[in-house]
Amino acid sequence: MHTPPKMWLQIAGFTALPHLGGLYGGYITRKEVNTWYPTLKKPSWRPPNKAFPVVWTCLYTGMGYGSYLVWKELGGFTEDALVPLGLYGTQLALNWAWTPIFFGAHKLKWSLVEIVLLTGTVGATMMSWYPISRTATMLLAPYLGWLCLATSLNYCIWRDNPEEKEE
């Protein structure tokens, strides 16, 4: 079966899109992971720092390809695509916003609120994708699992590291 070049470009575009925010997040995180982040109390069960870029590369690739499958199945940016791709776009924006809140602004409570919203939005995205493409939905399952771990980690960090009072 021959895949036309245009389709390869579409697949590549959808798959690459989530990585754009990931690259920006990596830029913000790079300095903080060696300066501010080590000063925080963290639970013993947290993954090693080196795991995060590898995991996020896989998760962004899966979610991006999943979005392509949904887009293709619905015939593009159609009226039927409004909710499933709108939820996807919302969760992607929330995903990209977490790193500047946590690592950039050092706002532990707000990053916790944000990641709870993100996790719920990913669940809603999966529910909206399920009738369209079970494969796309399953591509989000590891992401949802990782977000549950990340939410627990964010909660423990917030709980164990009182933030300074704002004046």
What DSSP element (H or E) covers 91? helix 82-99
Could you tell me the maximum CA-CA distance found in the chain, to the nearest angstrom? 64
Q: How many CB atoms lie within 10 A of CB 129?
A: 26
What token pair was written down for 26?
A: 């990596």
Backbone dihedral region for residue 67 (phi beyond 0: left; psi -120 to 50: alpha; all else: beta): alpha
Q: How far is Cα 101 from Cα 28, in angstroms, rounded to an integer?
A: 10
pLDDT of 167 reads 47
Regions of the chain short of the pLDDT cut 50: 167
Q: How far is Cα 156 from Cα 142, in angstroms, rounded to an integer?
A: 21
Rg (CA), the chain: 17
The model carries a pTM of: 0.92
pLDDT of 166 reads 55
56-99 pLDDT tens trace: 999 999 999 999 999 999 999 999 999 999 999 999 999 999 99
Sequence-distant (≥ 6) Cβ neighbours of residue 153 within 8 angstroms: 42, 43, 46
How high does pLDDT run on average in the chain?
94
Q: What is the CATH number assigned to the segment(s) 5-40+51-160?
A: 1.20.1260.100
Domain ranges (residues) in the chain: 5-40+51-160
